[in-house]
A and B are shown apart, each in its own frame.
Chain A
């Protein structure tokens, strides 16, 4: 595949040399944002839309927001978005969720870079440190709250984060940043775009960082922690093959080590090696905007699971095609198809491979009913074929590989009604059904033996596990207040999760022992969980270069396990682990060369699972309400040089924000040059 794509690039270069002036096929976010005076997105429906008219609940974090944040990582930036829950497991590992349900190896938030999945769906989580992107090359981060499976497929259930980088075809960028900080922090990053002739453009970036892990004040076994370190690189090329056809090729690499908190809430000194290659062919034709995308993600993930070294080799191949077109003045449509292959070996006991193939068809219809009223309906149907090859460890239940021959077929939808009642008032009503498919680990790639007291027990995935179905309904009211350069919004939402996945627990045997097999602990569907809540937000600008933001999100989660299951024991007590309230207040100021911003992120009391030694059971501990304070002061100098002092968790030397390692106050001094 790599050779094919590289051959395509070469062909594109040859074509470029002989061609004339180019037209655009990919979205020029910058020009459209300047035209409409607001961010634009394709992450709501697949069609380009103004952020205020998108029929989903979306927040867009701009490049300026990222720069002013003073953050050194994406989870810190996301923690300042209304309704997002972020738990730092260590100095280099975090879990992020939308409106509760956060957990170790958080599976409900789908994360992508330029539409390429960086969410690791063999295990169902995002290892944020592995993302091969420098903060300075991000154009915007699009955060969708609520399911969007109708566009993105499985696992876009709690929400979606789509990171949009600058496009070398449209954006001229150059940045080098050197950053040093307390606790041994050091970082260097570089991002540069350039053009060769009129038809070829490229962006290259690379970065490396390291720091000391947070001090181990909670009694985690020392061998389970790693000092975080990261090395990553990315290349992005755009070739205008003809006036109407464009080829974009992106490749990435990352090599990372962090202290992970695994899904059983035990720490692991994890190491990751990722690489990817993606090609997108886009053509503007008489029948619409055609787009063919193919990519492959390769991952090597090394963990220590239940005290045993585990190495997962995961490969994901995705091929998708779509056509986006407008019929008449009122109707925009998108039709698409996707094929996905996902495979991983079993571990820590090897000898087999679990994989699935997914075929999906999707469609979207946007109807501008009147100038003020628009309706959007999107649907997708996924058909998954599961399979297993290889041997079984001694003591396994007497099942053959044929037990894994199973199909999962699920529809998903997104419906949205947007009513622009006046020039300043907008109402939105949305309904969505998302599908959280069991991970390959859940379905059988986890294969281990554990000792509990005098007994030896098997630990295995469950190929009969059902996907969790998330339905979400939301009403939104947004009002612009141009007279005072402000905007306010209010949202109410209700959500239901069916077939919640419960974790294996030594307190409940799932497959009894037989004369020839060990008892087995596994994943089970344990019941339902319901959530409802509201979100209030306001932001604006004041004279004198001041800006401000405030938001509050309230959620109430009610777990309803089936008879015979306990949400607490199955490590799925989301009613207890979800804080009822979280909010943000920020204040910023820019005057000439000086910029200063301060952020306070407030999280209410909640409980959290803790497991500090292998072969124990996770228990719930109390996490008191806390306020995380961050900030940045920067001065710009001539020649594009900026010097910034920033900090995170400034309120305390050490602060408990989860049941894991306590976060530490960290300060950073950055020097960056843009050109």
Chain B
């Protein structure tokens, strides 16, 4: 009995981790996103606004936006940055202003509009950067992963420092 209980507890813990991860890690992902921005050439410093892009017709996107807004709250310190957030509907990206970057919720594609505005886009889903819809994708768990799409970065004029480029995955 004593041998089975820890194993069962461990299995239960493992099963509960995956469903929780999507929103529980919003704060960690945003930390990575904010810190990654500081490795841009002539990157942002100090207080900056992050636009949280969502699609109001997609409940998952709205939930992720809400989680991100809650995680940043009144201000999140991420390296040399202090981030605040404002929600941006996907359809309004072409008119957005005053943001250092856009954090794109899963399943939303604003690549073309962001490129036209020369704004860096960051997704929490690896496919966002892989497809070119985002300049960068970040995820914190189980291990920090950062993917930069070179074409998308070039399109918005984003140049990352070389040391950073050697430590991430580029596509």
Contacts and interface: CB of A to CB of B under 8 A. Distances in A.
Contact of A284 (B32, B38, B140, B162): B162
Given A36-B144, A482-B141, A483-B10, A326 B35 contact: no
Contact of B142 (A48, A324, A424, A484): A424
B142 A482 contact: yes
**Which of B32, B140, B143 is the most central at the interface, judged by chain A CB atoms within 10 Å of its CB?**
B143
Nearest to A332: B166
A483 B13 CA distance: 7
A195 to B, nearest CB: 15
A284 B150 CA distance: 19
A13 interface: no
B10 A484 contact: yes
Nearest to B13: A483
Interface string A21-37: 00110011001101111
A423 B35 contact: no
A480 interface: yes
Contact of A483 (B17, B150, B170): B17
Interface in A22-73: 23-24, 27-28, 31-32, 34-38, 40, 47-50, 52
B163 A289 contact: yes
B165 interface: yes
Contacts of A40: 167
A48 B161 CA distance: 12
Contact of A34 (B14, B35, B161): B35
Interface in B14-42: 14, 17, 32, 35-36, 38-39, 41-42
Chain A interface: which size bin? 35 or more
B144 A37 contact: yes
Contacts of A325: 162
B122 to A, nearest CB: 13
Given A326-B165, A326-B166, A31 B140 contact: no
Nearest to B170: A329
A37 B167 CA distance: 13
A480 B35 contact: no
Contacts of B142: 423-424, 480, 482
A368 B79 contact: no
A638 interface: no
Interface residues of B, number: 29
B166 A48 contact: yes
Contact of B167 (A24, A36, A289, A483): A36
A48 B14 contact: no
Contacts of B38: 31
A371 interface: yes
B4 to A, nearest CB: 17
Contact of A368 (B140, B144, B164, B169): B169
Interface string A481-494: 01110000000000
Interface in A286-335: 288-289, 324-326, 328-330, 332
Interface in B114-136: none
A48 B143 contact: no
A480 B143 contact: yes
B70 interface: no
B171 interface: yes
B166 A288 contact: no
A284 B159 CA distance: 13
Interface string A343-369: 000000000000000000000001010
A471 to B, nearest CB: 28
A27 B163 contact: yes
Contacts of B36: 35
A282 to B, nearest CB: 11
Nearest to A289: B162
Given A483-B10, A483-B14, A32 B144 contact: no
Contacts of A289: 162-163
Nearest to B6: A484
B167 A329 contact: no
Interface in A471-523: 480, 482-484
A99 B67 CA distance: 49
Nearest to A368: B169
A35 B14 CA distance: 25
A511 to B, nearest CB: 53
Instruction: Kindly name the residue among B10, B143, B162, B163 whose own CB sees the greatest number of chain A CB atoms within 10 A.
Output: B163
B166 A49 contact: yes
Contacts of B162: 284, 288-289, 324-326
A284 B13 CA distance: 47
A375 to B, nearest CB: 15
Interface in A346-404: 366, 368, 371
A482 B14 CA distance: 9
Contact of A23 (B10, B17, B41, B141): B41
Nearest to B126: A371
A324 B161 CA distance: 13
B106 to A, nearest CB: 18
Interface string A113-139: 000000000000000000000000000
A37 B140 contact: yes
A31 B150 contact: no
Contacts of A31: 35, 38-39, 79
A54 to B, nearest CB: 11
Interface in A396-429: 423-424
A419 to B, nearest CB: 14
Given A32-B164, A35-B39, A40-B167, 10 more contacts: A24-B163, A27-B163, A28-B163, A47-B166, A48-B163, A52-B143, A289-B162, A289-B163, A482-B141, A483-B17
Interface of A: 23-24, 27-28, 31-32, 34-38, 40, 47-50, 52, 284, 288-289, 324-326, 328-330, 332, 366, 368, 371, 423-424, 480, 482-484
Interface of B: 10, 13-14, 17, 32, 35-36, 38-39, 41-42, 79, 140-144, 146, 150, 161-167, 169-171
26 contacts: A23-B41, A23-B42, A23-B161, A24-B163, A27-B163, A31-B39, A35-B32, A35-B36, A35-B39, A35-B79, A35-B146, A36-B144, A36-B167, A37-B144, A38-B144, A49-B167, A52-B143, A284-B161, A284-B162, A289-B163, A325-B162, A326-B165, A326-B166, A329-B171, A423-B142, A480-B142
Instruction: Report the 7 A-B pairs with minimum CB-CB distance, sorted nearest first.
Output: A329-B170, A35-B35, A48-B163, A423-B142, A36-B144, A482-B142, A37-B144
